Amino acid sequence: MLKQELEKQLGYVLSDSFYQLANERYTNGTWKNDNQFCEELTQDRLLMRALYERSCMLKALGEVTLKLQSIIDKLNKQVK
């Protein structure tokens, strides 16, 4: 299963290490199709909570990065 397809079906951005583990689980399992596998993953509440928290962390990190860039830009304008 492709990483992009798994991310699309789960609704979260996945780390490479998570994807490798999920893909190994997928290839060693007895799922009939991708949808059945993703449905089982979404039933794992601990997993989905971890993906949600990671997604929130990445979003917050992106917002902090934008704010820091804005501050740096303002400081650069003041120096010139």
* Predicted confidence (pLDDT) per residue in 4-41, tens digit: 988 898 888 888 888 888 888 888 888 888 888 888 88
**pLDDT at residue 32, rounded to an integer:** 81
3-state secondary structure of 15: coil
Helices assigned H by DSSP within the chain: 3-10, 16-28, 34-43, 45-79
Contacting residues for 29 by C-beta, under 8 A, at least 6 apart: 37
64: amino acid identity, one letter? V
Cα–Cα distances in Å, from 38 out to 44, 48, 58, 71? 10, 11, 22, 42
Q: Is the pLDDT of residue 80 over 80?
A: no
Residues of the chain with pLDDT > 90: what percent? Answer: 24
